[in-house]
Structure 1
Amino acid sequence: MSDRQIKARFLEILNPSSTSTSTTHQSSARIKTSSDISDQAKRLRRLVLTAGIPDEPNLPPSQPSIRARVWKLLLHVDHLDSADYLRLVDKGPSGVSTKIKNDTFRTLATDTDFKGKVREDMLIRLLEAFVWRSQEKALEMEGGLDFSYVQGMNVLSAPFLYTLPTQVEAFACFSTFIETSCPQYVQRDLRGVHRGLELLDKCLEVADPELYAHLRSKSLSAELYAFPSALTLCACTPPLDQVLKLWDFLLAFGVHLNILCVIAQLLMMRQELMESPSPMKLLRIFPPLQANSIIGITLALAKDLPEDLYKELVRHPVSG
């Protein structure tokens, strides 16, 4: 399919009412049921996998892209509260403001497209608002997970600020994503990240015992070479357009698959790693992302994992 045909398919799913001009007003006024949204999400997931979300480089800044609309639907973000976001922003610096500012200035610092669209003050506002929101929710709910600002959260917020047309939408999607898709990754001890790295070693041993043994013979565990990729869901590895395509896949099918995405990158550089007497030199900076190749390998890896190990993988971003 051409990009135009793919775009038309996405718009058909996102705007089911547009297929009939005579019923557009009636259909758009109808409240969507959970069944409607679930069906839309299933169709979008299938299309993300088979065709990929097309890039739209010439859109006006205020117009939501297909990617923005798909991300919101996959995250079930259908309500925006601009007043509440502004209220949180007006609260000013939080208790972790210094920590936030120590990270935001270097967020995707080498990506000129990102820097041209997302200013540092936008990152700071979103992250400060998230901290204030989390503190308020913690007072209302006892015994829940503890959310604040932790290492890597600046990079996790970056794709949302880049993709969504407004800061309010970026904040809503980022907050929902953190709290529902990977809450264990942003606890103070980063327990989900460390658990993911343990599982990466286990999955690599299953997927490629020879490569696993070679890395272990050099005293290399996933904790040493894959921490940034696990922490940021590969958003630390350029280029940004490939990060966004990989995130389309992760938002559609689950953050847990990022661990297999990292293994896919190892397999793509397998020969160099096997031949190198010092593979850590190659692993300090991963090669540029190739999203389609990574996704294809990841799907093959997922099929071959033992069922119990795959269940552990699914659980680790969301439960202790």
Structure 2
Amino acid sequence: MSTTPDPSAVASAHSFNKILNQYKTATKARSAADMEESTKKLRRLILVDGIPSAVDPSLRPRIWKVLLRVREISAPAFLEYVGRGPCEVREKIRNDTFRTLATDKGFKERVSEDMLVRLLDAFVWRNHDRHENVQLGFSYVQGMNVLAAPFLYTMPSELEAFYSFAKFIEESCPLYVQPTLEGVHRGLKLLDRCLKVVDADLYAHLRSKNLSAEIYAFPSVLTLCACTPPLDQVLQLWDFLLAFGVHLNVLCVIAQLLLMRDEVMNSSSPMRLLRTFPPLEALPVIGIAVTLVRDLPTDLYEELVKHPYAVHD
């Protein structure tokens, strides 16, 4: 079997590295507008080429940190959180961590349960101390273990995984991890509304079986599709979500429904099919999600954009 890298993947890796080097050499001379232009180029490359991780495994972690604007990483602070030992909800964390991506051998080989527990404990301690955001506090909630998993798998160190995860939770989807899971429930309601617009027949068929998104799509919305293997496809999908916004996960779930549309429409009990989605295929899902954006009314799309983080509608 040939091990020669695909020339187009090599060229793509070079393009990514060229853009990433602009961030590394960022000085006061480079304006915010310049940096925004670099980020636009990065997003476009992610959409058009995808991140060629096989050619350069360092690309994904570096790109994720840029997209999340992870600039400050403090080893002493992280070690101080870890040094405090179990947080007040350690038992709740342990109840979930052992089953995180349990069927993925590659994940289990790279990420131990102890790593997950340490990161989640430290996150709870970090937010125990933070007072600047009085509107939204954070502790451990259901699903957070699965949201932490891709960061621990992707980042070269627990330290980088911790700060990337914290930034992601606190800024990209804070409403998804409130005790009421408010953002998740909003996302599920929006999924129904978006599906009704983009495929009224499929929506009507599911409703005729008393199936709302709350019933069949809860795990996919809660975990941003990280509950659907394989992990390499989840990571590709997350490249897209981190580049363009967590809100697009709702459309990615609809895309998965559309990929299995015929079976669902022909089934007298579609929940049997929807209980376990087929293996994730990132590229077709992303392709469909991007086209769905154009089909949505502007006001509905604006609601979708804001639902993971906007406290007031």
| Equivalent position amino acid for 2:118 in 1 | R
Using the TM superposition, give the Cα deviation of residue 55 of structure 1 relative to its aligned residue in structure 2, in angstroms: 2.1
2:192 aligned with 1:186, yes or no?
no
TM-score (norm 1): 0.92
2:50 aligned counterpart, secondary structure:
coil
- Separation in 1, partners of 2:285, 2:25: 38
- Separation in 1, partners of 2:98, 2:241: 26
Q: Which residues of structure 1 form unaligned runs of 5+?
A: 18-26, 60-64
Structure 2 residue aligned with 1:280? 271
How has the CA–CA distance of structure 1 residues 58 and 206 changed in structure 2, closer, same or farther, with 3 Å as cutoff? Answer: closer
2:82 aligned with 1:89, yes or no?
yes
Residue from 198, 207, 222 that aligns with 1:216:
207
| Equivalent position amino acid for 2:185 in 1 | H
Structure 2 residue aligned with 1:21? none
1:266 aligned counterpart, secondary structure:
helix
The one-character-per-residue Cα deviations of 1:174-201 (angstroms, maximum 9, x if unpaired) are 0000000000000000000000000000
| Equivalent position amino acid for 1:15 in 2 | N
Using the TM superposition, give the Cα deviation of residue 56 of structure 1 relative to its aligned residue in structure 2, in angstroms: 2.6
Residue from 117, 122, 146 that aligns with 1:124:
117
2:34 aligned with 1:43, yes or no?
no
**Contact 2:251–2:289 (Cα < 8 Å) also in 1:** yes
Residue from 16, 21, 36 that aligns with 1:15:
21
Q: Which residues of structure 2 form unaligned runs of 5+?
A: 1-6
**Contact 2:13–2:56 (Cα < 8 Å) also in 1:** no
How has the CA–CA distance of structure 1 residues 169 and 33 changed in structure 2, closer, same or farther, with 3 Å as cutoff? Answer: farther
Using the TM superposition, give the Cα deviation of residue 308 of structure 1 relative to its aligned residue in structure 2, in angstroms: 0.6
| Equivalent position amino acid for 2:163 in 1 | A
The one-character-per-residue Cα deviations of 1:3-58 (angstroms, maximum 9, x if unpaired) are 111111101111149xxxxxxxxx84845653343222111001000100012378
| Equivalent position amino acid for 2:10 in 1 | R
2:305 aligned with 1:311, yes or no?
no
Structure 2 residue aligned with 1:292? 283
- Separation in 2, partners of 1:84, 1:33: 30
- Separation in 2, partners of 1:116, 1:124: 16
- Separation in 2, partners of 1:302, 1:142: 32
2:141 aligned counterpart, secondary structure:
coil
Structure 1 residue aligned with 2:72? 79
| Equivalent position amino acid for 1:125 in 2 | R
- Separation in 2, partners of 1:304, 1:149: 36
**Contact 2:13–2:55 (Cα < 8 Å) also in 1:** no
**Contact 2:10–2:55 (Cα < 8 Å) also in 1:** no
Residue from 231, 239, 250 that aligns with 1:240:
231
Structure 2 residue aligned with 1:207? 198
| Equivalent position amino acid for 1:46 in 2 | R
Using the TM superposition, give the Cα deviation of residue 144 of structure 1 relative to its aligned residue in structure 2, in angstroms: 1.8
RMSD, aligned α-carbons: 1.5
* % identity of equivalent residues: 61
| Equivalent position amino acid for 1:41 in 2 | T
2:253 aligned with 1:262, yes or no?
yes
- Separation in 2, partners of 1:134, 1:156: 17
Structure 2 residue aligned with 1:53? 51
2:103 aligned counterpart, secondary structure:
coil
Structure 2 residue aligned with 1:113? 106
Structure 2 residue aligned with 1:154? 145
2:220 aligned with 1:229, yes or no?
yes
Structure 1 residue aligned with 2:3? none
Equivalent pairs counted in the alignment come to 304
TM-score (norm 2): 0.94
How has the CA–CA distance of structure 1 residues 135 and 288 changed in structure 2, closer, same or farther, with 3 Å as cutoff? Answer: same
- Separation in 2, partners of 1:146, 1:247: 25
